[in-house]
Structure 1
Amino acid sequence: MSRADICRRGRAIKNANLLALILLALAVSGCASNSGIPADQLSVDEIESGVAADEVEIWIEPLTAEQDQQLSRARGAWAEGDLESARQILDSLLAIRPDHPDVMTNAAIVAREQGRREASRTLLEEALKVAPGHRVASNNLGLMLAETGEFADARKVLVRAVQRYPEEPSLHYNLAVIYELYVQDLAKALEHYKQYQSLLDEPDAQVEGWIVDLERRVE
């Protein structure tokens, strides 16, 4: 077994689906931003250097109380494993709020778990057009892209998200895994593992071991 295989056993992109349940009100619920330069026209280097930071505000109408209750019911059904009920609720919500990134992201998560991967990917991509860097959408799209070997695109999605939400630990972790195992940029991987650790209440002992290993290899 190669070292890469061993690494892949220990280092895997974190699935961010649980965030869809616990983040009932993300930063985009009131308003979101969209870039003056489409994300798919930016290189990773341009994003990392801050070119994507010059963004134009786009107003997203908040969910009504009734719509928020629908979204909560869908999340509850998803948590109980009732994917079909969750899908039906989300489909009805999408019909009246096709513009809301939280609705699209939750629908994408359900679609993915039902095996409707193309529908899931489309919903995630649409959510990110409305709310660039959306944490849950970015993590889930990054995971899907990595699973299909589209590592450059996965990296771009996660870099964009980290720029907007540098305080989100899971984004740094997933980006570090991409950099280490698939892009082979160990210095960048080390940087993001350290960022991940710094954002935790208590450092992750396993990740600390990876950091020590990477520091030795980068020297």
Structure 2
Amino acid sequence: MRMRNNYLSLMIVLLLLAGCAGTPESVVQEAPQQQAGSETEVDMSAAIAALNEGKPLIAEALLRGLAQRHPRAGMPWVNIGLIHFRRGEWDRAQQAAEKALALQPEINEADYLLGLVAHQRRDAPLALKHYQASLAKEQQHANSHYNLALLYDTYYQDLEKALFHYHRYLELIDGEDEATRSWVRELEGQLTPDGGSDES
């Protein structure tokens, strides 16, 4: 059965982003776009309600039910992985994302989730690889740009690449992240001769 995109993607993105700061010091978490049919929409609504009520185990059970009914769909596994990620269960989050990629290699959100896990484990080269893989599949993925900017900024100290990805992130979210805009202005000041850089 072919599933279609719907409004639930926005709801779960907002749900999973709740409480995550949008500053350069944080790793952004994001839920993938959901694909659903009418029966799936009911389960997704119930999973979202369970997450809102602080019942991630119920949400996970509903998502696992979706995965059983749609055995070739990777998206339920990405969401299961995100639940594990939010609980700090890095191994289980990684396993779920890898399963999603095995089922549907084109899902950029699974690469993004693997990047988040690597980022949390402080494995910057692996996180970089996964965020780049996410962007290779979906160039408009704002949070992959943001997290690449973080890595280039803080780990690799490559301000030009960091600024490129910060700018792409801000373009994709219509510049609605004041903390990041402010940080970008500060970084740009470091690159200009009169901005405090030691370079001539």
Q: Do they superpose with TM above 0.5? A: yes
Q: Percent identity?
A: 26
On the 8 A contact 2:24/2:150 being kept in 1, the answer is: no
Residues 10 and 117 of structure 1: is their aligned pair in 2 closer, same or farther, counting only changes over 3 Å? closer
Structure 1 runs, 4 residues or longer, greater than 4 Å off: none
Equivalent residue for 1:164?
Answer: 137
Equivalent residue for 1:12?
Answer: 26
Local SS of the residue matching 1:174: helix
1:32-74 Cα distance to aligned partner (Å, 9 max, x none) = xxxxxxxxxxxxxxxxxxxxxxxxxxxxxxx553234323322
- Residues 131-150 of structure 1 correspond to what in structure 2 (within 5 A)? 131-132=104-105, 134-150=107-123
- Residues 95-114 of structure 1 correspond to what in structure 2 (within 5 A)? 95-114=68-87
Give, as a single letter, the amino acid of the residue that structure 2 aligns with 1:24: Q
In 1, Cα distance between equivalents of 2:183 and 2:87: 34
Equivalent residue for 2:196?
Answer: none
In 1, Cα distance between equivalents of 2:180 and 2:87: 32
Equivalent residue for 2:197?
Answer: none
In 2, Cα distance between equivalents of 1:156 and 1:163: 10
In 2, Cα distance between equivalents of 1:180 and 1:129: 32
Residue 24 of structure 1 pairs with residue 34 of structure 2: yes
In 2, Cα distance between equivalents of 1:135 and 1:72: 23
What is the CA-CA distance between 1:189 and the residue it aligns to? Answer: 0.6
On the 8 A contact 2:24/2:180 being kept in 1, the answer is: no
State the structure with bigger RCO (CA 8 A, min sep 6), 1 or 2.
1
Residue 174 of structure 1 pairs with residue 147 of structure 2: yes
One of 59, 78, 91 as aligned partner of 2:51: 78
In 1, Cα distance between equivalents of 2:122 and 2:103: 25
Residues 68 and 205 of structure 1: is their aligned pair in 2 closer, same or farther, counting only changes over 3 Å? closer
Residues 64 and 205 of structure 1: is their aligned pair in 2 closer, same or farther, counting only changes over 3 Å? closer
Give, as a single letter, the amino acid of the residue that structure 2 aligns with 1:209: S
What is the CA-CA distance between 1:195 and the residue it aligns to? Answer: 1.0
Residues 155 and 115 of structure 1: is their aligned pair in 2 closer, same or farther, counting only changes over 3 Å? closer
On the 8 A contact 1:11/1:177 being kept in 2, the answer is: yes
Give, as a single letter, the amino acid of the residue that structure 2 aligns with 1:154: A
Residues 64 and 194 of structure 1: is their aligned pair in 2 closer, same or farther, counting only changes over 3 Å? closer
Give, as a single letter, the amino acid of the residue that structure 2 aligns with 1:126: K
In 1, Cα distance between equivalents of 2:185 and 2:87: 39
Residue 65 of structure 1 pairs with residue 79 of structure 2: no
In 1, Cα distance between equivalents of 2:110 and 2:96: 9
On the 8 A contact 1:90/1:107 being kept in 2, the answer is: yes
TM score, norm. by length of structure 2: 0.72
- How many residue pairs match? The answer is 170
